Structure 1
């Protein structure tokens, strides 16, 4: 028996009436988002809907339909992603169904403190970080944050010796639910959370689910 060929994908869906076409486009976009483990940029989503589709309105309709669900559609790291709502994080942790590596690896209180400082001071050298935090920032901490793809190399500093500087990455934005660095919480909010200040290294939460979630967005 000959295998039936599938029809080529036509995102315009010209044979459907307007309302059915809109619902189909919503399904296309949601399916792409559901299948992706990383934020999906706008230009990618535009490829699965017709050229006349108002993508912002479509996304608004999807978000509205998800209001009663335990997950939502959020703008993060220059794209869109489906994420579980913050209030369900305790249940997810209790179930133990998400492997540690998929959660990005737990950060120590000291690593969280260093990462928060870099986010606000970038591009910044390791020596400058040590001065600001009042203690040495080890190469091992920087190396681990780079392995987790939370940090990248910035431009060389104009200081003598042209030391390396460090900047945060799109993975950092995605992990903490930020659309861009402009969404970072103000320093007063960080101090209230124990991520800045003289006792921050001792008091900062030891789990990334609790560190910046309530400050910078919701993560799943």
Structure 2
């Protein structure tokens, strides 16, 4: 046999069988597909209704959370629900491909923080805490973003509207519950509050309980819930869409 013919002959290799893959739990695969396809966070009741009867929801979520702990996206719990979200350490890379968001002005951020910590709160109470008047456009922007909602009416002269935060607020800022907002010690640690401030300074424990308080009445059914910020209002945005701690998902 010529050398050329020998080179043209196929070389036989010992076939090495690949180790069999462990079959993935069908319920886990279905849960994974549901979370991947969902356009919004899913609560455990919805998940349970779509999984095979008898599935251990908590165990499946814990396993999936562990599986994705070191991947490009993680399974996270926000607003008491579950969603897949870009890993925090990669968010800044994806953010480079997104349009530059318009950022809330300082007045809007202060108003949002006051509502989050002091809800239910009226516009007059917001102004008292801030020490300055609040432009109507500021509240309109927060309402339009669905970060703030109208709760009810305060049982006081004029029956002013009370404001509170929404589930969208929790999802956007990656909070499982409103109580996850930083307390006084955490705010001091980040430098947002001077460590030398008065010892009497306190930060209220926030609560977004949807139930109306004793001093609140429900809104009238015909109450106009449509709000639109007026263009050019200098108390809405500081330069360009809504922006918070978005992770680039």
* TM-score between both structures, scaled by the size of structure 2: 0.65
* Corresponding residue to 1:66 among 41, 65, 68: 68
Residue 28 of structure 1 pairs with residue 25 of structure 2: no
C-alpha distance in structure 1 between counterparts of 2:133 and 2:192, whole Å: 17
Residue 113 of structure 1 pairs with residue 110 of structure 2: yes
Residue 150 of structure 1 pairs with residue 147 of structure 2: yes
SS in 2 for 1:141: helix
User: Displaced runs of 4+ in structure 1, greater than 6 A?
Assistant: none
Larger mean CA deviation between 144-153 and 77-86 belongs to 77-86
Structure 1 residue runs of 5 or longer lacking an equivalent are 1-18, 199-205
Shift of residue 108, structure 1, vs aligned partner: 2.7
Return the index of the structure with the highest Cα Rg. 2
* Corresponding residue to 2:84 among 77, 82, 85: 82
SS in 2 for 1:172: helix
Aligned to 1:202: none
Q: 1:192/1:134 Cα in 2 relative to 1: closer, same or farther (>3 Å)?
A: farther
Shift of residue 189, structure 1, vs aligned partner: 2.7
Q: Aligned Cα RMSD in Å?
A: 2.6
Larger relative CO (CA 8 A, sep 6+): 1 or 2? 2
User: Is the Cα contact below 8 Å between 1:177 and 1:219 reproduced in 2?
Assistant: no
C-alpha distance in structure 1 between counterparts of 2:25 and 2:114, whole Å: 44
Q: 1:175/1:87 Cα in 2 relative to 1: closer, same or farther (>3 Å)?
A: same
Shift of residue 81, structure 1, vs aligned partner: 0.7
Deviations 1:47-96 (A, max 9, x none): 23222111100000001110220211111112101111222121111122
Aligned to 1:122: 119
User: Is the Cα contact below 8 Å between 2:94 and 2:248 reproduced in 1?
Assistant: no
Q: State the number of aligned residues.
A: 182
Aligned to 2:221: none
Deviations 1:24-61 (A, max 9, x none): 21111111111122111111111232221111000000
More helix by share: 1
